[in-house]
Structure formats: C-alpha cells, structure tokens
C-alpha cells in the first residue's frame, strides 16, 4: 500500500511536492499517481495544483479522479495545496466554474484596483513571494512552526469561506484573505509548503504524522 | 505585515560551473552551483535564479542534472532560464525541479511561445526576461530603452516598456528586467528603467543588473519600485551575505523575510 498518494492530474510540476515529502518522510512509500485505485488505497492523499482551476477540474475528470479525491477528502488525512485548496470550494470566479463543494464559500480574483499597501505602494498580481501566515485556530499541522511564519505564495485567486469556522489562517494582501482551511481530516493551504523552506517542511512533516479523527475511516 | 520583498541571488551557469561576467563578457569562475545554492539557502535567499549561458548545445542537459540535484536539497523556488526555445524545453525544466522558467530571446522570436507555455503550465511559472539598453542618452527627461536579445548582442527595435506590457498580456507571470548598461558595472540598478516598467505592469518585476553594494538593493525597491531584487557578484565572492542584505533593507523600512 502507498503511504502517501500525490494526485497527478497533469497540471504542472509535482516533483517539488514529492521531493519535499521524500525529504521529511524518507521511509514512506510515496506515489505520484493518476490512478484512482492507488489514491483510494493510499493512507494519505495530497492534492496539489497549479495553473487555472477550470483546467484542473477538467483534467481531474478526464482521468476519472474526482470520486477518488472526494472519497479521500471524506475519509483520510488530506492535504490540499494551492488549486488543491481552491477546488474544495463551491465555485470560482475563474472561468465561472463549480468546485468540489466540500467547503462552503467561493474563489475570487484579487481586484485590479485598490491593490495598494499601507505605504501607498501598488501590489502586483499574482501575489508572489513570502507572506506571513496568521493563525486563527490551533491545529496539529501548525506544530513547531513559529506564529506568523512566512510561507511562499504564488496565486491570483483567493478563497473566501462562507462561515468563519473552517478558516485556520489568514494573510494580508492588502486585505486579510483565508490562506489555510481545516475541516475534520482535511487541511488545505493556499501557499506552497514544498517551497517554504523550514516552515514548509515542518508542516509537511506534521501532515505525515497527523492522525485526525476520522468520520468514515 | 504583508508580502516581503524578495532577494534573489542569480547563478550564471556554463558547463556545470557558476561564472560571472562584466557586461555579459569576461567570464570568471565562481564555483559549484549545488554548493552555492545550498549556501544561499542557508543564508535565507528567498528564491534562486539559474541562467544557463552554455553556448554549445552539447552541454545543455547539464543544467537539468544541476536543477535536479538542487531541487532535492533546497526547498525554495527555483527559476531557470537560458536557451528555452519551445514548450518542450519548459516541460523538461519544470520536470527537473524548476518552479519557474525564464524566456528571453525566444519570446522575441516567437511571442506565442510565452502564450503557449503560460496556457499549458500557468502564468505563475512563466517569467519573461528582458535585457534592455538605453537608446537616447542625450535626452534624460525622455528616456527610452530598447530590448536586446542573444545575451545582449542583438537589437530588436522593441521598446522595453511596451514589450513588458505585451508579455504580461500574453501570459508572463513575472518580468525579470536587466539593464544592459548597468550589468556588471556595480554602479546600481537603472532605477528609471526599473520604475518605468514596474509602474506600467501588474505582474511582479525583478530588478537586475548593476548591484555593487547593499544600498543599491534599497534603491531598487524604494526608487525603482521593484518587487524583487536580483544580484550575483556581491554574493558570489562573499562580500555580503544574503542575511546582511536583508538586515540592511529592513533598516531602511523594507519588509523582508528573516
């Protein structure tokens, strides 16, 4: 059995994610896979994603992976990264598509106006670089990570939860936006832990060791 | 506190070694790319940029092996450029572990490459590198910069600001802007160029070319409005560490990751 399945639906580079997981869990068997059966049998599932959410969902469906991802989100430690966070939501402004609908809320684009910081500087989109992650809830995945630690972001769309409960952290750009979501066995982040140096590796190590309460496990 | 300004050491790589030239010529050996990457990572570099300046195609695959080795040890974003001619080159670099691929000469020869690569892999991993040179030195109030290609040897007739805007429209997620006049001089960035481009585009702009001391980095951000600053020689020869550069920028009110 695969310990950790990284869901490969053909969107972008998953090598960074697998390299970082291999680094923090050298004894684990890690598979980058587009096989729904491998995802179903894996102990833990990571859903990364780059590019545009409509393309990501289309490619997920083209490989018959949607059901396996939904099952994983319902039954085992699940980590979403970037588009892997965004696709959990109900809908996205990007291409006006429906998401997986696991978390109530929507995905919005950073506005082209009013992107000015406190010093009067214009803020660029994509939001690219290292930003502070301010936690709003305690969670096993934050263990040993300094509060307000910086993580690496690169995205033009952000998530907005309908209810405050699932939000686990926010960042400022320039307004506060949710950058991490926690719900039962799901943890999903807008930033890239695999590219976020020690803080990111610690988060991945915490994920590998995480034993959430499972409803359908 | 919000987004930190990035400091990006640049490694010019040829035949498997890091080198540094003056005005794109007179190369001098600066060491092993994997070792240097690890050092910068330990010092707190926010990102690393590799430019493959290998002239012959024989040794092209060397850069892939270097990136693979770096990506297995260094967990920060890696940008790789040099010799990217087709979408297949982008794919190979991303698969080797690059997070972003920088396109320069080929973007001028075939602008659709930028559009194709961005639609296939996402704008977030497509950087367009622009080598710009001042073309009317007589009228300082009305400066104009032209895009050059082939490592700065060939004039294109393209206006650098217009070109940056067009590249953004085609899908570039970031602009790496090098002043050919300043590169290797250690006199500081071309601040007017940096500011003109950065203010005219919505995507992040990395200022490059001319850094000789830490104050140049501060000027690039505060006066040039750069979203990130790139430098090579001040870091390669141990004159300054990345952490010293960050401490100096923080003293001048620039938000950095420490």
Is residue A7 predicted with pLDDT exceeding 90?
Answer: yes
What are the pLDDT digits (tens) for A89-98?
999 998 888 9
Which residue among B12, B89, B183, B227 is the active-site one?
B12
d(CA A135, CA A171): 9
B58: contact with A, CB 8 A cutoff: no
Is residue B206 very low, low, confident or very high in pLDDT (cuts 50, 70, 90)?
very high
Supply A169's token pair: 């952290």
**pLDDT for the residue A63:** 95
Is residue A115 very low, low, confident or very high in pLDDT (cuts 50, 70, 90)?
confident
- Say which residue the tokens 């910086």 belong to: A150
Is residue B102 very low, low, confident or very high in pLDDT (cuts 50, 70, 90)?
very high
Contact B122 A51 (CB under 8 A): yes
Is residue B128 predicted with pLDDT exceeding 90?
Answer: yes
- Say which residue the tokens 């940008």 belong to: B79
Is residue B198 very low, low, confident or very high in pLDDT (cuts 50, 70, 90)?
very high
Higher pLDDT, B123 or A116: B123
Which residue among B46, B52, B89, B131 is the active-site one?
B131
Q: CB–CB of B128/B114 below 8 Å? A: yes
Is residue A116 very low, low, confident or very high in pLDDT (cuts 50, 70, 90)?
confident
**pLDDT for the residue B137:** 66
Test the B interface: residue of A158, A169, A197 with most B CBs within 10 Å = A197
Q: Report the chain B residue with the minimal C-alpha distance to residue A110.
A: B202
d(CA B206, CA B180): 14
Instruction: State mean pLDDT over A132-154.
Output: 97
> For chain B, what's the residue count?
258
CA B34 to chain centre: 18
**pLDDT for the residue A211:** 95
Through-space distance between the first and last CA atoms of chain B, rounded to whole angstroms: 13
Is residue A174 predicted with pLDDT exceeding 80?
Answer: yes
Is residue B23 predicted with pLDDT exceeding 70?
Answer: no
Contact B76 A51 (CB under 8 A): no
Of A52, A148, A194, nearest to B75 by CB-CB distance is A194
Secondary structure (DSSP) of A24-64: H-TTS-EEEE--HHHHHH-SEEEE---S-HHHHHHHHHHTT
- Answer yes or no: is A215 within a domain: no
Q: Strand A89-92 and strand A103-109: pairing?
A: parallel
A131: contact with B, CB 8 A cutoff: yes
Is residue A194 predicted with pLDDT exceeding 80?
Answer: yes
Minimal C-alpha gap between A74 and chain B (Å): 29
In terms of Cα–Cα distance, which of B59, B57, B48, B58 is closest to B12? Answer: B48
**Chain A residue numbers touching B225 (CB-CB < 8 A):** 121-122
Can you give the residue range of the structural domain that contains A174?
Answer: 4-209
- % chain B with pLDDT above 70: 95
- Answer yes or no: is A216 within a domain: no
**pLDDT for the residue A190:** 98
Is residue A1 predicted with pLDDT exceeding 60?
Answer: yes
d(CA B164, CA B182): 19
Is residue A215 very low, low, confident or very high in pLDDT (cuts 50, 70, 90)?
low
Q: CB–CB of A86/A159 below 8 Å? A: yes
The neighbouring-strand residues paired with B20 are B28
- Answer yes or no: is A214 within a domain: no
Across chain B, mean pLDDT equals 92
Contact A129 B94 (CB under 8 A): no
- Answer yes or no: is A52 within a domain: yes
- Answer yes or no: is A75 within a domain: yes
Is residue B57 very low, low, confident or very high in pLDDT (cuts 50, 70, 90)?
low
Supply A134's token pair: 């301010």
Is residue A48 predicted with pLDDT exceeding 90?
Answer: yes
Helices (H), chain B: 33-43, 61-71, 87-96, 105-109, 112-121, 160-170, 191-200, 214-222, 233-236, 242-251
Instruction: State mean pLDDT over B121-147.
Output: 89
d(CA B81, CA B12): 10
- Number of structural domains in chain A: 1
Across chain A, mean pLDDT equals 93
- Answer yes or no: is A47 within a domain: yes
Secondary structure (DSSP) of B139-193: -TTS--EEEEETTTTEEEEEEHHHHHHHHHHHT-SEEEEEETTTTTT-S---HHH
**pLDDT for the residue B55:** 64
Three-class secondary structure of residue B49 per DSSP = strand
Complex prediction ipTM: 0.94
Higher pLDDT, A216 or B92: B92
Task: Kindly tell me the sign of the dihedral angle through the C-alpha atoms of B102, B106, B108, B114.
Answer: negative
Instruction: State mean pLDDT over B6-29.
Output: 80
Q: Tell me if the pTM is above 0.90.
A: yes
Test the B interface: residue of A21, A30, A113, A150 with most B CBs within 10 Å = A150
- Say which residue the tokens 């104050």 belong to: B215
d(CA A112, CA B100): 23
Q: CB–CB of B174/B125 below 8 Å? A: no
d(CA A10, CA A111): 29
- Answer yes or no: is A181 within a domain: yes
Q: Catalytic: B12?
A: yes
- Say which residue the tokens 């939904």 belong to: A70
> What's the DSSP call for residue B211?
-
Q: Catalytic: A56?
A: no
Q: Strand B6-14 and strand B17-22: pairing?
A: antiparallel
d(CA B29, CA A19): 30
d(CA B44, CA A212): 33
Report the CATH number that the domain containing residue A168 is assigned in CATH: 3.40.50.880
Secondary structure (DSSP) of chain A: --SEEEE--SSS--HHHHHHHHHH-TTS-EEEE--HHHHHH-SEEEE---S-HHHHHHHHHHTT-HHHHHHHHHHS-EEEETHHHHTTEEEETGGGEE---SEEEEEEEPPSSS-B-TTSPBPPSSEEEEEE-EESS--GGGTT--TT-EEEEEESEEEEESSSTTEEEEEESSSEEEEEEEETTEEEESS-GGGSHHHHHHHHHHHHH-----S--
- Answer yes or no: is A83 within a domain: yes
Supply B160's token pair: 């650098």
Instruction: State mean pLDDT over B200-204.
Output: 96
**pLDDT for the residue B156:** 96
Which residue among A82, A94, A127, A155 is the active-site one?
A82
**Cα A29 to Cα A10, A151, A191, A192, distances in angstroms:** 21, 26, 24, 21
Is residue B155 very low, low, confident or very high in pLDDT (cuts 50, 70, 90)?
very high
Of A112, A121, A200, nearest to B202 by CB-CB distance is A112
Q: CB–CB of A208/A169 below 8 Å? A: no
């Amino acid at each position: 059995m695969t310990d950790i399945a990284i869901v490969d639906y053909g969107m972008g580079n998953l090598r960074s994610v697998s390299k970082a997981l291999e680094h923090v869990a050298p004894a684990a068997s890690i598979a980058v896979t587009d096989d729904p059966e491998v995802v179903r049998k894996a102990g833990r599932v990571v859903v990364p994603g780059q590019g545009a959410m409509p393309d990501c969902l289309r490619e997920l469906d083209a490989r018959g992976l949607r059901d396996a991802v939904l099952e994983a989100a319902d039954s085992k430690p699940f980590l979403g990264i970037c588009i892997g966070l965004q696709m959990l939501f109900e809908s996205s402004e990007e291409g006006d598509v429906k998401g997986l609908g696991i978390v109530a809320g929507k995905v919005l684009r950073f506005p082209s106006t009013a992107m000015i910081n406190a010093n009067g500087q214009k803020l660029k989109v994509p939001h690219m670089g290292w930003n502070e992650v301010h936690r709003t809830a305690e969670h096993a995945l934050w263990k040993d990570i300094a509060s307000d630690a910086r993580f690496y972001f690169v995205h033009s769309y952000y998530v907005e939860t309908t209810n405050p409960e699932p939000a686990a952290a926010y960042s400022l750009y320039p307004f506060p936006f949710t950058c991490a979501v926690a719900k039962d066995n799901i943890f999903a982040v807008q930033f890239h832990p695999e590219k976020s140096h020690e803080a990111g590796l610690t988060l991945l190590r915490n994920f590998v060791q995480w034993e959430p309460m499972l409803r359908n496990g | 506190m919000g987004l930190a300004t990035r400091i990006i050491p640049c490694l010019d790589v040829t035949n498997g070694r890091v080198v540094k030239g003056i005005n794109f010529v007179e190369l001098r050996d600066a060491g092993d790319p994997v070792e240097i990457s690890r050092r910068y990572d330990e010092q707190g570099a926010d990102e690393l940029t590799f430019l493959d300046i290998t002239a012959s195609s024989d040794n092209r695959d060397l850069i892939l092996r270097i990136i693979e080795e770096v990506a297995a040890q260094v967990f920060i974003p890696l940008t790789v450029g040099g010799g990217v001619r087709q979408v297949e080159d982008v794919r190979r670099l991303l698969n080797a572990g690059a997070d972003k691929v920088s396109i320069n000469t080929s973007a001028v020869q075939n602008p659709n490459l930028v559009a194709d690569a961005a639609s296939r892999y996402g704008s977030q991993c497509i950087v367009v590198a622009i080598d710009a040179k001042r073309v009317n030195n007589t009228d300082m109030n009305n400066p104009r910069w032209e895009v050059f290609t082939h490592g700065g040897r060939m004039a294109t007739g393209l206006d650098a600001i217009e070109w940056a805007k067009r590249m953004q429209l085609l899908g570039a997620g970031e602009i790496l802007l090098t002043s050919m006049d300043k590169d290797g001089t250690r006199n500081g960035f071309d601040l007017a160029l940096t500011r003109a481009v950065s203010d005219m585009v919505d995507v992040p702009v990395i200022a490059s070319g001319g850094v000789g001391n830490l104050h140049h980095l501060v000027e690039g951000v505060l006066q040039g409005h750069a979203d990130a600053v790139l430098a090579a020689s001040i870091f390669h020869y141990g004159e300054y560490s990345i952490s010293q550069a960050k401490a100096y920028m923080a003293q001048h009110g620039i938000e950095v990751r420490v």
